[in-house]
Amino acid sequence: MQTVYPYIYGLLQRLKRERLKEMTTLGILQLDTSEYNPYLNGVASLCAENGYDIFRFSPLDVDREHGLVQRGLQYNSYTNKWLDATFPIPKYIYDRCFYSSKDKSSYHAISIVNEIKQMSTFLGIGLPNKWAVHQWLKRNEHLSPYLMPTQLLNRSTFQSYLNFFQDLVLKPISSSGGKGIYFIFKKEDGSHCLTDASNKLVTILSDKEPYTQVQSILLKDNYIIQPYKNLKRENRPFDYRIVLQKGETNWYIVGKGFRVGKENTNVSNIHSGGSVQKTMPFSKREKNHINKQIGDILPRIPEQLEKHHSPLFELGVDLGIDERNKLWILEINSKPGYQTVLRTTGKTVWRRIFSGPKNRIEKLEKNLDRSDLHDGSSNRLYK
């Protein structure tokens, strides 16, 4: 039809676009839409119950000239399946894209996403990188004691941290899931070894040019450098993941759980082989001490970040706990995975977890209605 009747096809597409503008449409952005995701399926099902049209698509499948997604997916609430579809760019966007600095398609996708931001309303805008987040949190006197000493990796910071701390962690500023992390440990003979997340030996550093040696392995990616802390129990690394979402006015906890890595490894991320536990064997006194610190940290994190970056919709807060049960803020993720939350909560709670995007849209719609009363605009947020 597109070839034989180009005028009719174009007219139908315009009519479809106008109809969708009047509806509440939500598009879920992913670089890879073939991946099964129980959380996003739950979000789609709940939104569809409330009359929303739900789509999934990659920014790489957007026809920017015509404002169409050519190879996307639309959720069918009758079959609970995703069907191939062509559609206009939705009114609201839930960005779940995870980019890689080593993937050329990521750079192209980012530029397209920036264009989509001029057409649609995003539920939240992703945080820039680990270094920027650290700088923002550090300005808060209540949060700074829970932050590791951190610097951008260069020859000077590498040498000073190596001399002072001896054991180090090197993290890419723009990665997630424990990817690209390296560790430096001082051995008994005084030499230093570089290991990866699984604790596999990468190389023994030379005494003459250790920084040059490390840089050849990092492939010139931007990294931060931190001292290594022993955040393990029974020789297994672990952290405490807490997922927050923004409600009508305040942030609230969606769920939480411990992620425990494999024995003799260095990271606890699920993507690196970690498992999920609802609790850890802490004494009552230890739990009280930990919870007191969480109460001091958690409300301040989104409040501090929103001073420098907005809008935010969801946050994954990863906390480390050392041998003295002192908490350390390891990472803040603005596109958190929900595997930990779903595995540590019962199915009766899942509906509340899946309702976050719907609640966010309802808040944005209310703000739209208020603006209409003042300026008469009928679709102010649909730019």
CATH of residue 93: 3.40.50.20
- Could you tell me if 240 and 327 lie in one domain? yes
- The DSSP code for 270 is G
Q: Is residue 377 part of a domain?
A: no
- Could you tell me if 183 and 316 lie in one domain? no
- Is 90 exceeded by the pLDDT of residue 372? no
- Is 60 exceeded by the pLDDT of residue 303? yes
- Could you tell me if 113 and 141 lie in one domain? no
- Could you tell me if 38 and 187 lie in one domain? no
- Is 50 exceeded by the pLDDT of residue 20? no
- Could you tell me if 117 and 158 lie in one domain? no
Which residue shows structure tokens 């430096």?
Answer: 184
pLDDT in tens, 118-136: 999 999 999 999 999 999 9
- Is 90 exceeded by the pLDDT of residue 105? no
Which CATH number covers residue 239? 3.30.470.20
- Is 60 exceeded by the pLDDT of residue 374? no
- Could you tell me if 117 and 245 lie in one domain? no
CA distances from 205 to 165, 202, 210, 218, 222 (A): 16, 9, 5, 14, 20
Burial class (CB in 10 A: 0-12, 13-18, 19+), 99: middle
- pLDDT reported for residue 14: 58
Between CA 13 and CA 360 the distance in angstroms is: 28
- Could you tell me if 39 and 134 lie in one domain? no
pLDDT in tens, 254-285: 999 999 999 999 999 888 788 999 999 999 99
- Is 70 exceeded by the pLDDT of residue 10? no
- Could you tell me if 188 and 73 lie in one domain? no
- Could you tell me if 175 and 299 lie in one domain? no
% of the chain at pLDDT higher than 90: 78
Choose one of 227, 261, 293: the last residue of a domain: 227
- pLDDT reported for residue 6: 63
Q: What is the pTM of this model?
A: 0.88
- Could you tell me if 285 and 180 lie in one domain? no
- pLDDT reported for residue 16: 54
pLDDT in tens, 22-70: 579 999 999 999 988 999 999 999 999 999 999 999 999 999 888 899 9
Q: What DSSP letter does each residue of 104-122 carry, written as one string?
A: HHHHHHHHHHHHHTTTSEE
Q: Is residue 375 part of a domain?
A: no
Question: What average pLDDT does range 154-177 have in this prediction?
Answer: 93
Question: What average pLDDT does range 172-197 have in this prediction?
Answer: 91
- Is 60 exceeded by the pLDDT of residue 19? no
Task: For residue 88, give every residue at least 6 positions away whose Cβ sits within 8 Å of its Cβ, in sequence order, or none.
Answer: 13, 16, 17, 20, 21, 67, 68, 69
- pLDDT reported for residue 115: 94
Residue 344: name the closest of 297, 296, 279 by CA.
279
Q: Is residue 363 part of a domain?
A: no
pLDDT level of residue 376 (50, 70, 90 thresholds): very low
Between CA 59 and CA 27 the distance in angstroms is: 11
Question: What average pLDDT does range 203-209 have in this prediction?
Answer: 92
Residue 246: name the closest of 310, 294, 297 by CA.
310
- pLDDT reported for residue 381: 24
- Is 70 exceeded by the pLDDT of residue 226? yes
Q: Is residue 379 part of a domain?
A: no
- Could you tell me if 274 and 215 lie in one domain? no
* pLDDT mean across residues, the chain: 90
Which CATH number covers residue 211? 3.30.1490
- pLDDT reported for residue 375: 43
Q: Is residue 284 part of a domain?
A: yes
Question: What average pLDDT does range 142-156 have in this prediction?
Answer: 97
- Is 60 exceeded by the pLDDT of residue 4? no
Q: Is residue 73 part of a domain?
A: yes
Per the structure, the complete domain to which residue 261 belongs is given by 130-147+231-345
Q: Is residue 268 part of a domain?
A: yes
Residue 331: name the closest of 197, 154, 199, 171 by CA.
171
- Is 80 exceeded by the pLDDT of residue 3? no
- Could you tell me if 179 and 250 lie in one domain? no
As for how many domains the chain has, the answer is 3
Choose one of 191, 206, 227: the last residue of a domain: 227
Q: Is residue 369 part of a domain?
A: no
